[in-house]
Structure 1
Amino acid sequence: MTVDQQLTDEERQVVKTAAFGAVFLVSNADPGLLDMIKESFAASGVFASASGLVREVLTAGGVPRLTTESPADIEFEVLPALRNAVEILRAKAPAEVDNYRTTVIEAVDQVGRAANGINEVEATMVAKVRTALGLPA
């Protein structure tokens, strides 16, 4: 059995949605249409360059949808999902935990830098993502 077969479809969806949600949180922290396009390309490039199970999960299928569309509620969905994703990987694919954390952090950093550098609002959101992933802010 390969590592990616150890994750159920639901677990794969949590891992993917959490990563894309983190990107959305940082992108939405300082919204702008042109910025959003640049940020989307930045994040997709990071996800595509990931390796192993993380790459497989993040690049397979379409873009996941969050269960809420309210910007105020998205943070309350995504941050626990990030913690849950790390726990899923820790239990089922422990060798992929650091890969996942590194990929998500690189993606949110690139999103913040994609349009005029990381501002204070984006930096605050990146710190929240780092904390949710179990990393120092």
Structure 2
Amino acid sequence: MAITHTYTLTLADQDKATLRTAAYGAVSLMAAAGTAGSPHRIATRGSIALTSATGQVGYVLAEKSKIEGLNGRSVAELADQVLPALTATMRLLGRQDPAEADNFRTTVTLAVEESVRAVKGEPGPVMTEMIRKITGALDAA
């Protein structure tokens, strides 16, 4: 028996770009905050978690396109792009398909958690604060 799912999302190219910036940007913020681990390893683990996403969110994250807004010269510039993108994506998905909003939140949260696993021991205060900011942006919608 074939299982099909009808997606209810209608995302413009800009909406998809914002979603990708939000998700991959959260991983980039974690890499920048990972003072006790390898930024490369942190980013790799988080990105692998994002590529494992399912549903419409998974399809958007799997699209091969340039991700805008992740070339800030400082963590502050990066956060100025990523944190509002997280909130905007949650609002957009929440209006169109609450299940996909939950899927996006879970996907980003898992990527953040996977990023932390690249660090030996517990995450330090810098990473912990970045997790708080990312979670706050997801919940602000």
Equivalent in the alignment of 1:46? 49
- RMSD of equivalent CA atoms: 2.1
2:96 aligned to which of 75, 92, 95: 92
Asked whether the equivalents of residues 21 and 68 of structure 2 are also in contact (C-alpha less than 8 Å), the reply is yes
Equivalent in the alignment of 2:137? 132
Q: Could you tell which deviates more after superposition, 80-89 or 116-125? A: 116-125
Cα deviation, residue 105, structure 1: 0.9
Task: Report matched runs for 1:62-101 at 5 Å.
Answer: 62=65, 64-66=67-69, 69-71=72-74, 72-101=76-105
Asked whether the equivalents of residues 47 and 103 of structure 1 are also in contact (C-alpha less than 8 Å), the reply is yes
Unaligned runs of 5+ in 1: none
Q: Could you tell which deviates more after superposition, 107-116 or 63-72? A: 63-72
Cα deviation, residue 89, structure 1: 0.6
Q: Could you tell which deviates more after superposition, 80-89 or 36-45? A: 36-45
Question: How far does the alpha carbon of each residue in 1:114-133 deviate from its partner, in whole angstroms, 9 at most, with x for none?
Answer: 13242211011001100110
Quick one: percent identity of the two aligned structures?
33
Equivalent in the alignment of 1:7? 11
- Between the aligned partners of 2:66 and 2:111, the Cα distance in structure 1 is 15
Task: Decide whether aligned partners of structure 1 residues 116 and 130 sit closer, same or farther in structure 2, where only a CA change above 3 A counts.
Answer: same
Q: Secondary structure at the match of 1:6?
A: coil
Number of residue-to-residue matches in the alignment:
133
TM-score, structure 1 normalization: 0.85
Q: Secondary structure at the match of 2:38?
A: helix
* Structure 1 residue 123 corresponds to structure 2 residue 128: yes
Task: Report matched runs for 1:23-62 at 5 Å.
Answer: 23-30=27-34, 35-62=38-65
Asked whether the equivalents of residues 45 and 111 of structure 2 are also in contact (C-alpha less than 8 Å), the reply is yes
Asked whether the equivalents of residues 112 and 119 of structure 1 are also in contact (C-alpha less than 8 Å), the reply is no
- Between the aligned partners of 1:122 and 1:51, the Cα distance in structure 2 is 26
Equivalent in the alignment of 2:23? 19
